[in-house]
Amino acid sequence: MSEVVESTEPSSVEFGRRAAARAETRLLIDGALVSATGDATYENLSPATGLILGVAAAASVQDMDRAIGAARRAFDDTDWSTNRALRKRCLEQFQAAIESEKEELREELVAEVGCPVMSTNDAQLDWPLAQSLRYPASLIDDFEWERVLDGGGLFGPRNVRTVFKEPAGVVAAITPSNYPIEVILNKLGPALAAGNTVVLKPDPNTPWNAARLGRLIAEKTDFPAGVVNVVTTPDNEVAGILATDPRVDLISFTGSTAVGRHLMREGASTMKRTFLELGGKSALIVLDDADPAKVAMSAVGSCAHAGQACAVNSRVLVHQSLFDEVVANVTAAYTAIPVGDPALPGTFVGPLISAAQKKRVLDVLDRARAEGAEFRTGGGEYADLPDHLRNGHFVAPTVVTGVDNSAAIAQQEIFGPVVILLPFTDDDDAVRIANDSAFGLAGAVASSSAERGMSVARRIRTGSVGVNGGMFYGADAPFGGYKNSGVGRQCGLEGFEQYLETKTIGCRVPKTDG
């Protein structure tokens, strides 16, 4: 049984009260903070307690239409797309504005996302805040916005050819609930630095952090009206307008593969460009020369934010000579993972985002049980909780063996605190199993030899790999997947260029004397 964290520190109930008192419940449309049509709202629920935290604006079709129109006008009728100095100043102001409310935002994330407060020290808040706006802002000065091609090509030296990089236009940024600030900033930063205008539609389960950013933009920056619009809504019909409206040029989406496919189909009617960062079923490969004692620490990372991360290594592939030892170590580690109130500093695993997600995870575990899977620890709902968490969405950290890679639990993205351990015979077998997946987002390799680890990593068909604990994450590092894990890359130069169009102009210059 995993350890339950209890403390006299402020709990999720208190975090929720404070977050509700400070929550922004308006939309940002055309530079103004406005209520949704008819003052419509919907309930924002706490994942940890199941209680109502407060409300968020429930935008209508009319509200979304206004937001798209504002973004279109701001792109077409202002100098935002060409005024690089203004773009840099606004992003610097935005950075300072977020930092001025960083601690309030931290509590708000814990309250509505259900992420453990310790995770806000890294990927939930501090890491993206350190780089995700600053890096693309630096590209405004450093990026090669235009280049002259050598010579004149087929038409001689008087034919001067210049390649220009220009913003794509209006970007629909659609973001998930699991790491909302991380994803939002890594979309807004490059999209805005590149000169686009944006309609941001956050996940309905986590609206407040996005609405807060909207307020900060309206109150503390010089962004022209309409450059950034923030529209919260629980209505899929309203959100779907972003995929079909011809005024939107590009869809930037992070979320499930199923929704990504839907957006791609819907956007095809107006030939929208799409950037899709989707699901994963990543594998940690433990080679026969790896240190088994270190593997358990790596495997625990699959429980980060209760496993609600697309890049976690939810499969652990272990050389058969180490398999029993690694299984024992990982099981012991998972049994000891601190589970409980995300507001407490010692909690590592908090709740899933919703009752629906909890049911989905439990259904996957029930199917695996029926198919003969062995649960070394966990395997169901986590019930040993304090009274204030009884209605929260907790699943026990779970270690699964006894299946092969063809099992549904080894192929599906679970988005819960579940890891599957699978044996392999040699390096070729490990690579085969790792690549036997519809996904191709991330992965990892453990070996006493960095050279051997790198060799295996190069053979894994995924967008990112960590070797011996190496971290690929960063605003300057492209992130995205092969196969069903997506189209395009987030972050880095590749991510910046997702938001740009390319124009080539050939100009015949006059013949000079002599």
Closest CA to 64 of 251, 237, 268: 237
Q: Which tokens hold the place of 144?
A: 């090669």
The residue with tokens 């590592």 is 348
Task: Cite the beta strand spans of 282-438 per DSSP E.
Answer: 283-286, 315-319, 339-340, 374-377, 398-401, 418-424
Q: At what angle do helices 12-22 and 102-113 cross, to 10 degrees?
A: 120
Residue 263's Cα: distance from chain center in Å? 17
Q: Exactly one of 115, 303, 310, 491 is catalytic; name it.
A: 310
Give me the half-sphere count of Cα atoms (radius 13 Å) on the Cβ side of residue 34: 19
The residue with tokens 């589970």 is 339
Distance CA 340, CA 392 (A): 10
Q: Exactly one of 24, 112, 277, 413 is catalytic; name it.
A: 277
- Amino acid, res. 232: T
103 as an active site residue: the answer is no
Distance CA 463, CA 461 (A): 7
Distance CA 248, CA 196 (A): 11
Please say whether the beta carbons of 347 and 14 come within 8 A.
no
Distance CA 113, CA 108 (A): 8
Report strand pairing: 52-57 vs 159-167. unpaired
303 as an active site residue: the answer is no
Give me the half-sphere count of Cα atoms (radius 13 Å) on the Cβ side of residue 190: 26
Distance CA 243, CA 231 (A): 14
- Amino acid, res. 469: G
Query: Nearest 5°: phi and psi at 338?
Result: -70, 120
252: part of which helix (H) or strand (E)?
Answer: strand 250-254
Tell me whether residue 147 is exposed, middle or buried, using C-beta atoms within 10 angstroms of its C-beta: 0 to 12, 13 to 18, 19 or more.
Answer: exposed
Instruction: Give, as one character, the DSSP assignment of residue 58.
Output: -
- Amino acid, res. 420: I
Task: Give the residue numbers marked as catalytic.
Answer: 277, 310
